[in-house]
Amino acid sequence: MRIIAIFILLLFTTSVWGQNLEKIRLLAKQGDAEAQYQLGRMYHTGRFKLSAGTVQSVTRNSVEAIRWYREAAEQGHDDAQFWLGVMYEYGNGVPRNYRRAHMWMNIGASQGNKRAYEGRTSVAAKMNRADINNAQQMAERCVMSNYKECDQ
């Protein structure tokens, strides 16, 4: 009896989990920035939070994390901008690039994101004056082009 109960419970949680994840995936593909961010977090951390509060483990994948962070960041999601900056700062899933890291943190910070504000300071400490100023122009171009010219 107890085994059956456990089995049913397990089936139930898996189906809820699957549903949530599929829903997030669908929303992300449809362009929902928050869903894209959640998907990025999931691939980055290897954890997917169910609405019930339980956590499901998934395979970590930095490249997929970058992909979804970027999608969300280019829609103006400030937390995604911060994390995309972190990926560039540490060369996680993408070649390390301080100027790009500074650019994304700067954009996130300009929207009032506290972690991006602090992150910008710490990445700036590893850069020279020319690179910092260059990264600032990159950030401005990125935002002024409505996130079309962010990869120069």
Partner 1 sequence: MRILTAVILSLLATSVWSQGFEETLRLAEKGDASAQYSLGVMYHDGDGVPANSSAAVKWYRKAAEQGDTTAQFWLGLMYDGGDGIIQNYRRAHMWWNIARSQGDGRVRQGIERVEALMTPDDISAAQKMATLCIESNYTVCD
Cβ-in-10-Å burial (0-12, 13-18, 19+) of 114 comes to exposed
Instruction: Kindly tell me the burial class for residue 11, based on how many C-beta atoms sit within 10 Å of its own C-beta (0-12, 13-18, 19 or more).
Output: exposed
CB 106 to partner 1: min, Å = 5
Contact pattern from residue 92 through residue 131 relative to partner 1, giving x for each residue in contact according to CB under 8 A and a dash for the rest:
--------------xx-xxxx----x--x--------xx-
Q: CB nearer to partner 1: give 87 or 107.
A: 107
Instruction: Give the pairing type, strands 47-49 and 55-57.
Output: antiparallel
Question: In this chain, which of 133, 145, 146, 152 binds partner 1, going by CB under 8 A?
Answer: 133
Task: Report the site for partner 1 in 19-48 (rule: CB under 8 A).
Answer: none
Q: At which residue do the structure tokens 């400490």 appear?
A: 125
CB of 23 to partner 1, least distance (A): 32
Q: How many residues bind partner 1 (CB under 8 A)?
A: 17
* Residue 139 φ/ψ region, left for φ over 0, alpha for ψ in the -120 to 50 degree band, beta for the rest: alpha
Which parts of this chain interact with partner 1 (CB under 8 A)? 106-107, 109-112, 117, 120, 129-130, 132-133, 136-137, 139-140, 143
